[in-house]
Structures are given as structure tokens and as C-alpha cells.
Amino acid sequence: MSSPNENKHETRKNRGRLLLRLWHYMGRNRLLIVLAVLLSSLSSLLALYGPKLSGRAINAITSEGGVDFDTVIHCAILMVICYSVSAVFSYLLQLVMIRLSRTVAKQMRHDIFSSLSRLPVSFFDSRQIGDIVSTITYDVDTVNQSLASDALQILQSTITVTVSLVMMLTIAPILVPVFAVTIPVTFIFTRWLANRVRPMFRNRSKKLGELNGFVEEMLGGQKTIRAYGREEAVQERFEEKNEIAVNAYTRAEANGTVTGPSVNFINNVSLALVCVFGSILYLRGVIRLGDLSSFVQYSRKFSGPINEVANIIAELQSAFAAAERVFALIDAEPEPADDEHAEALENVKGDVSIEDVDFSYDKQIPIIRDFDLHAAPGSLVAIVGPTGAGKTTIINLLMRFYDVDAGVISVDGRPIKNVTRSSLRGSYAMVLQDTWLFSGTIFDNIAYGKKDATMDDVVKAAKAAKIHNYIMRLPEGYNTVLTDNGSGISKGQKQLLTIARAMLLDANMLILDEATSNVDTRTEQQIQAAMRELMKHKTCFVIAHRLSTIRNADNILVMRGGRVIEQGTHDELMAQKSFYRELYRAQFDSCE
């Protein structure tokens, strides 16, 4: 069990690593950083020269009541110039920081999305999409705002505190020890509060991500929710999660905002002490009135940034929590690299074999056991069985979305572990039950997997998939733009578009995972007949619940409990007292 000191040490190390990585993003724009430091320094120094000038103007008043107007006017003109130029530099500084933060945010989102493209399918199977989206948007913005404002504020505060301290030492060093008491109290308090608040901000980001994930999930299922009349139940669940997220936000912010007022109180105490002791010194003739005025102004500038930094520390806890989530996505374990001796799979014939394969998502719950399969080139293999039998898992293993625990999967006699994943997956065309269309034209969606596809190629594939006539009835035909995953067209039409996309691919093998579940039986049979013609001499794997559509399969594998319990043609299996026969008749009995 780790001690509290070890935990604190680890926390400091983690925070140091986060700062180092954030600096790495900013360090790519060194010219902007140098310009920001220069503008910030000049702006702060010019603003800090003002109290010195005001003290000199006050000292121009003689003890007899006379006034040296030349000195007063000279100081006033210099103050106007200093403050005006300082304001211009400050404005230019804001422009530089906006550009810097924009560049950093862009690079962060690029790195996150680049990381997502390298992650294995298992990563997305175990996470809510809304939570990932929340990290790409909200968390990146949180980090970005901190870099843009907080880093700049810390720089300006450092300059202000340093210069103000030097000025106070030159004006009245006897008054400076007042801050030797209040400053340590401020640092001890802010450090204690920062350690207490940081986990709260981490929890705030987590709960907001969970809320976004729930909202994304519910928005995607609106038709089902309304069909089952579950609006009130969903609203109640949303209120619960919203309440949790709001409470996490309130708790973090409420504790974080304690810092500012508390430090402000301590600074006001120090300012009061300065005024009291300064007045005594003035009455005794130790210090002039103008110098006391300058000292008080510098003491406020000295204390003000400390108060601001205290507020920034609270904001940084939110930024650190967000940065942890951002870097957790960037650092997520990518899909394992291909073996160094792996070769590209070329001239594929489509001879697929699975020998003695075991697999489980959870090591405690086996899914596939002692699985064997052989698909000859150009054959149509159908995989059927009850829900949970492992049918879709077989497809995941064929595509190497997951690796087997034991056994060997081979293509043309070569174990797929010895070939590159890209060449293996490029040898398959794949159509899933869950259709995916992106924002773009129908032509772009069908031609997605074939960069050099012509309009004639796309039309040919659409005709084979029985979707050409529907496309031609649309206002812009193949140039019709689809949005929001094809909203506005039916599920069946979306599925036909994805089938046309698969038909267009110059792939040697085809996988259909419940690919025709949203089309009627007659259209499905027409598609399969056309597909068999297009996929001659190519191997096809079909997962189907509608058993009437796989009568012409060369081989039907019946799975149950992760094993193949029967295989053969439709006629062979129906001639036996088989489990397949029970499944087949059960479907027709259920339709009577």
C-alpha cells in the first residue's frame, strides 16, 4: 500500500509530465512564443513605470505648498505615453496568443484523431462514442483556453511581481518585510487547496463525458424510444446523469473559487499593514508622500498578480484534468504492429481455413472453442446459429480485428499473422448490418473504397445492387448529397448503397454480416444472384438469420455455443434431424 508521501510525489511527477507535454505543443511555435514574451514584457514594464511617475509628480509639491508644474506636466505626459503604448502592446499580445492557442488546439485534435485511426476495434467496443467526442471538443477547448489565458497571465504576473518588488526595495525597503508574512501564508493555502480541488475537476470532466455519451446514445435511438413510449423514462435517466454532472461541476467550481476571495483577503491585510506603517514613517519624516504613494501602488501591483495566480491555479486544475483525458486518448495502445517479417497478401485466391481456433473477449468467458472451417476459392459459406453463438466473432477474427487465443487462420495457406493487416483487410469487401454512410454525394459513398472508380463503375454496381432506379429518381441523381448518415432515406436503401459499395471493390473475398436484413426477401434473392455473378471465383462469407436466403450456399456452418455442430448444404442438413432443420422450420412456424 502506497504512503501519502509517495502519492504526492507521484502526483507531482504526473503534473510535471503534463506541463512538459503541454510545453511541447507550444514549443512548436517558438517564434510566436518569443513574440508573446517580448510584447508581454514591454507592456508590463511600461505599465509598471506609471506609479514611479505619479510618485515623482506628488513629490513636486513642496512643503510650503508650491508646485513644480513643469515636473507634474512632464510626468503626466510620460504616463499617458506609457499607458497608451502598453495598451497597444497588450492588444497585439492578445492577437498573438489567439493564434498560438488556435495552432495548439488544431495540433491536439490532429494528434487525437490520428491516434483514434490507429486504435484497435476493441477500444471502440468498450467506450461510448459521446465520451470520446467530449474529449476532442470540450477537453481540448479547456486545455486550449488555459494555454491561451493562464500561461500568458502567469508570465505577466511574474514580470509584475518581480519589477514591483525591485521598485519597492528602491523606494522603502523598510516596508517590504510586511510581505514576508502574508506571501508564505498565500502559497501554503493555495497549494493545499490545489491538491484538494484537482480530483474534483478530474471527476467533472469524467461525468460530463458520461453525460455526452448518454445523450449521443439516446439521440441515435429516438425512433425506438418513441415507438416504445419510453420518453419519460429516458428523460428521468437524463435528469439523473445531468444532476450528477452538474453536482460534479458545482463542487469543483465552488471549491476552486474559494482561492480568489481568500487570497484577496490576505492581500488586503498586507495592504492595510503597509498603509499603517507607511503613514507612521511619513509622519516621522522617514519617507516622502510621493514615495509612499508609489510604494502603495506597487504593493497593490505586487499583491494583485498573486491573487490572480491563485485563481489561475484553480483553473489549471481543470486544465490538468482535461489534459489527462486528452493525452489518455493520444497515448492509448494502438493496434499491434505487423510482424517485422510480415508480407503483403497478393494474388489472393480465397482459400480460407480456420483450424482449432479458441477465442474470448473476456478470458473468463470463452466464445469460440475448437473452431474449424474451410472455405474453398469461389465458394459461398453461410454461418448460422442462435444469438450469441459466435457468428460475428468469426468475422472479427477473419479480418484480424481481434487475434485468436489459440489455433491458426490461414488465407491461401499463409497464416494471417504472417501477413500485413492492411493487405488482409484489403482482400475483403465487407457489408455490415449497421450501415454507415458519410456526408457526401451518393457517388462518393459508393466509390468510397475504390479511389479511381468512374461513374460507369458506380452505376454498374448500383444496378447490380438494385438501387440504381431509386438513385435516378432523386433530384441530383448520383450527385445527391447525403447528410447525417443518410438521414431521409430508408434503412433498406442505405443498406443497398453499402452493398453497391462492396460490389465495386476489387476484392477477392466478401463478407456479409446480416447485410440484407433491412430489405425484402425478393430483393435480397435478386441481390444475392447478382452478387454471385459478380463474385465468381471469389470466396463469400454470409451471416444470416433469414435462413431462406442461404439455400444456395455451398456450405452452411451451424454454430452453437462457440462450436460448429453441423455443416453441409441446405438439402443435406434438411434431410437430417438437425438443429439447422429446427431453426429453419421455427422461422416458418413463427410466420404462420
pLDDT at 94: 83
- On the CB side of 31, CA atoms within 13 Å amount to 2
Q: What share of the chain is helix, strand, coil (3-state, %, to 5)?
A: 65, 10, 25
Given a cut of 50, the residues of the chain with pLDDT beneath it are 1-2, 4, 6-7, 590-592
Domains and CATH numbers, the chain: 4-330 (1.20.1560.10), 348-427+550-592 (3.40.50.300)
Per-residue H/E/C for 13-72:
HHHHHHHHHHHHHHHCCHHHHHHHHHHHHHHHHHHHHHHHHHHHHHHCECCCCCECHHHH
Please work out, in degrees rounded to the nearest 5, the angle formed at the alpha carbon of residue 377 by the alpha carbons of 495 and 542: 30
Rounded CA-CA distance 146/153 in Å is: 10
Rounded CA-CA distance 247/234 in Å is: 20
CA distances, 28 to each of 17, 148, 323 (Å): 17, 15, 18
Query: Residue 202 phi/psi, 5° resolution?
Result: -65, -45
pLDDT at 485: 63
Provide the β-strand partners of residue 428. 509
> 367, 390 in Cβ contact below 8 A?
yes
pLDDT at 527: 65
pLDDT at 592: 42
Render pLDDT for 39-87 as a digit per residue (tens, 0 to 9).
888 888 888 777 777 777 777 765 555 667 778 788 888 888 888 998 8
pTM score of the predicted model? 0.67
Rounded CA-CA distance 256/262 in Å is: 11
User: What letter would DSSP give residue 437?
Assistant: -
Contacts of 88 (CB under 8 A, 6+ apart): none
For helices 69-118 and 289-330, the axis angle rounded to 10 degrees is 10
pLDDT at 86: 87
pLDDT at 104: 84
User: Is 406 exposed, middle or buried, given 0-12, 13-18 or 19+ CB atoms closer than 10 A?
Assistant: exposed
H-helix or E-strand spanning residue 117: helix 69-118
Contacts of 549 (CB under 8 A, 6+ apart): 516, 521, 524, 525, 528
pLDDT at 88: 92
Report CA dihedral (406, 407, 408, 409) to the nearest 10 degrees.
Answer: -80
pLDDT at 410: 92
- On the CB side of 175, CA atoms within 13 Å amount to 31
Rounded CA-CA distance 383/394 in Å is: 9
Sort strands 440-441 and 481-482 into parallel, antiparallel or unpaired: antiparallel
